[in-house]
Amino acid sequence: MLIFQYSGGDVSPGLCGEIEPPLTSRSPPPPTPWPARRTAPGTLINEALVWQTGRCGDLVSRAMHHLQPLHIKNQSNGTPLHQKPSSVHWEPEALYTLCYFMHCPQMEWENPNVEPSKVTLQTERPFLVLPPLMEWIRVAVAHAEHRRSFSVDSDDVRQAARLLLPGVDCEPRQLKTDDCFCASRKLDASSTEAKFLQDLGFRMLNCGRTDLVKQAVSLLGPDGINSMSEQGMTPLMYACVRGDEAMVQMLLDAGADINSEVPNTVHKYPSVYPETRQGTPLTFAVLHGHIPVVQLLLDARANVEGSLQEGAENYSDTPLQLASAAGNFELVNLLLERGADPMIGTMFRNGISTAPQGDMNSYSLAAAHGHRNVFRKLLSQAEKEKGDLDSARTGKAKLRALREAMYHSAEHGHVDITIDIRSLGVPWTLHTWLESLRTCFQQHRRPLIQGLLKEFSCIQEEEYTEELITHGLPLLFQILRASKNEVISQQLSVIFTQCYGPYPIPKLTEIKRKQTSRLDPHFLNNKEMSDVTFLVDGKPFYAHKVLLFTASNRFKSLLSNRPAAENTCIEISHVKYNIFQLVMQYLYCGGTESLHIRNTEIMELLSAAKFFQLEALQRHCEIICSKNINTETCVEIYNHAKFLGATELSSYIEGYFLKNMVVLIEVEAFKQLLYDVPVETPVTDVLQDLEKTLGTRIQSIHLSSSKGSIV
């Protein structure tokens, strides 16, 4: 394919793979001043744009010339052409619009995916994020060809901008008769004449003059008043789109089919919009909010459910679904009075299978868009008809519809509607509860946060999925971290204890490790046969290298760094004599069975065992500490364990915190541990450690293949 590259001069073949947009800051200024031109309110196109438009038009025409052979090659075989094919023509306004989107400053959404949305003035688009000019041409021409048009207009470029430029919010093209009536180049003369006559008939009806209905109908063809355009639209549908009540009445009097549908096929009607398929005149009147026309159609006995037939599956939105999504209370009330069913959902066909599209009925649509008054109206109507419906419809079907609506309201942040649905007795799911809580937390709605936290006990344990670990726990601990409210802290403590479960805390087990060498306890602190002396608290302690050298890497390091001598003296600081004596007793006796450790010595012995890298002795001390934990000592032992890096003991105490958090949250020392972290000391985030421990616990109890295996 021939590729173009534009650098401000003539067009020439290049190797860049695209056509570079000509409208950049590197373009030269206009040679002569042009008067300012205003094309729309608040949009100023200056003389530079007018000057650049001519050059852009020249580039577009050259590109279209080279695209034409490809277009001809891809055309399907059919009726022989009676004229030479010509490329699509670009209207002047289309070129102005193209230059506007490629170069001119304008108001755009800064990021449409964040709340609240912000609109900013984009002074000039960065060169790197601009789509290549060939892509603009391709998308704009595709829109024009979809309309069966020979020319690209300004709206085609706007639709291209809606697809190609992030943040640009252009309204989709509205349904108009002018968009679809062009004689196909594949038709013979007589068919082309009939097409133009039909075109004229639609235009006569579209002008709104009721006195021309008879003459216009005679031009529409064999189907008369029910003829369809290439968009699959009848004159009655176009009149409903415009809201022309007088024309609607005239067409109905002339015999127009009030329940005609936009066809699904694209062979006979190639310009049918996918969103309008199976649409009826009532559908279009509701879609555009023309209440008098809707009243007129319903009085003329239009099907209140649109194209849906009784007992059949629904593949398009009903009028009530459209009115509920738009939040038009008056239309919803009118349709409900005429018997519209809010329980009807929409089926979705993907070419392989047919499945419900999430039961998007009127309840779900009103809830998803936050129309609380419409949702309450739908509920009140269902209550009125409750006596006329069987128990299955008012039971499981309604519950399923309300649960779906509850999901959509929570997903889109409409907490008030979610709470309304919950008040009807609809049970929580973990996802809807979490999303509602997240929205309330972001909106600082403390009373609703307290109400939702209280409701956590209503969630079944079967709902404790991976989402609770990945999304729920971070949110709950974030609320605990940010809120110093005592009520909320107490409610969160209840939730954490409930999630931790009734099973006991996993116990610490002794490390059974056999020493490679041992000596008789008679040699303990025996001066006569010792070859190394430790100076502890100013007192000598006699030991033997053969035992210590294999006891741990710490002792090996202490002994290896000393010069070879008959008796080596090593000073030990920060360890008391009686504690060092217990360490040596553990080594000479080959275990912890003969040790008699007082409660006042256990923390210092744990520190010494950690320092000398004696894992078995350290675990033995940790087990003793775990047995001494209570509400008064747990914080002190935890701080000491974190300082020493005793991870097993720390995890055990974190389990104790979570299991007894309802009581501990009232203890001042525990609250200081959670909230009052000194800035000058890099202490590990306690809340983060508790979150990790609780996540591991939930995983082992509720998500592992063998539940309860931790006990």
pLDDT tens digits, one per residue of 644-660: 889 999 999 999 999 99
| pTM (2 d.p.) | 0.72
% of the chain surpassing 90 pLDDT: 32
Q: What is the mean pLDDT of residues 203-227?
A: 80
pLDDT tens digits, one per residue of 413-465: 999 999 999 999 999 999 999 999 999 999 999 999 999 999 999 998 888 88
Residue 83, pLDDT > 60, answer: no
In the chain, % helix, strand, coil (3-state, to 5) comes to: 50, 5, 40
Distance CA 461, CA 621 (A): 36
Under 8 Å between Cβ of 289 and 281: no
Residue 11, pLDDT > 60, answer: no
pLDDT tens digits, one per residue of 16-32: 333 333 333 333 333 33
Least confident of 119-133, 466-480, 509-523, 678-692: 119-133
Nearest to 216 by CA among 248, 180, 224: 224
Q: Which of 49-53, 332-336, 382-386, 527-531 has the highest mean pLDDT?
A: 332-336
Q: Where is pLDDT greater, at 679 or 226?
A: 226
- In sequence order, the 6+-apart residues with CB closer than 8 A to the CB of 141 are 64, 67, 88, 152, 156
Q: What is the mean pLDDT of residues 234-245?
A: 89
> What is the domain partition of the chain in residue ranges?
4-173, 521-703
Q: Which fold has domain 521-703?
A: Potassium Channel Kv1.1; Chain A (3.30.710)
Distance CA 658, CA 671 (A): 13
Tokens of 476: 């709950």
What was the pLDDT predicted at 128?
Answer: 54
Residue 559, pLDDT > 70, answer: yes
Nearest to 659 by CA among 608, 701, 607, 616: 701
Q: What is the mean pLDDT of residues 590-598?
A: 83
Residue 153, pLDDT > 70, answer: yes
What was the pLDDT predicted at 114?
Answer: 58
Provide the b/e sequence for 652-680 (b: ≥16 CB within 10 Å). bbbbbbbbbbeebbeeeebbebbeeeeee
What was the pLDDT predicted at 324?
Answer: 94
What was the pLDDT predicted at 5?
Answer: 35
Q: What is the mean pLDDT of residues 247-253?
A: 89
Nearest to 136 by CA among 110, 171, 100: 100
What was the pLDDT predicted at 178?
Answer: 55
What was the pLDDT predicted at 389?
Answer: 43
Distance CA 378, CA 631 (A): 53
Nearest to 606 by CA among 635, 634, 645: 645
CA atoms within 13 A on the CB side of 583: 30
| Per-residue 3-state assignment (H helix, E strand, C coil) for 472-503 | HHHHHHHHHHHCCCHHHHHHHHHHHHHHHCCC
What was the pLDDT predicted at 564?
Answer: 59
Residue 392, pLDDT > 90, answer: no
Question: DSSP string covering 598-623, please?
Answer: -TTTHHHHHHHHHHTT-HHHHHHHHH
Under 8 Å between Cβ of 387 and 342: no
Distance CA 417, CA 368 (A): 9
pLDDT interval class at 483 (50, 70, 90): confident
Distance CA 469, CA 691 (A): 9
Tokens of 707: 């539940």
Mean pLDDT value across the chain = 78
pLDDT interval class at 394 (50, 70, 90): low
Residue 400, pLDDT > 80, answer: yes
Angle between helices 602-611 and 615-627 (to 10 degrees): 150
Residue 371, pLDDT > 50, answer: yes
What was the pLDDT predicted at 562?
Answer: 67
Amino acid at 266: V
Q: What is the mean pLDDT of residues 68-84?
A: 47
Least confident of 22-26, 348-352, 492-496, 649-653: 22-26
pLDDT tens digits, one per residue of 603-653: 999 999 999 889 889 999 999 999 989 999 999 999 999 998 899 999 999
Distance CA 440, CA 235 (A): 49
pLDDT tens digits, one per residue of 499-526: 998 889 999 988 876 655 566 777 788 7
What was the pLDDT predicted at 183?
Answer: 43
Residue 162, pLDDT > 80, answer: yes
**How many CB atoms sit inside 10 A of residue 557's CB?**
10
Rounded to 10 degrees, the C-alpha dihedral 576/582/588/590 comes to: -140
pLDDT interval class at 189 (50, 70, 90): confident
Distance CA 650, CA 132 (A): 59
pLDDT interval class at 55 (50, 70, 90): confident
Amino acid at 40: A
Nearest to 530 by CA among 542, 517, 547: 542
Residue 188, pLDDT > 80, answer: no
Under 8 Å between Cβ of 437 and 467: no
Q: What is the mean pLDDT of residues 479-493?
A: 90
pLDDT interval class at 265 (50, 70, 90): confident
Q: Where is pLDDT greater, at 317 or 371?
A: 371
Residue 202, pLDDT > 60, answer: yes
- In sequence order, the 6+-apart residues with CB closer than 8 A to the CB of 532 are 542, 543, 544, 545, 548, 559, 567, 568, 569, 570
Under 8 Å between Cβ of 346 and 317: yes
Sign of CA dihedral 332, 334, 335, 336: positive
What was the pLDDT predicted at 358?
Answer: 52
Backbone angles phi, psi at 268, to 5 degrees: -85, -30
What was the pLDDT predicted at 355?
Answer: 47
pLDDT tens digits, one per residue of 298-336: 999 999 988 887 656 667 889 999 999 999 999 999 999
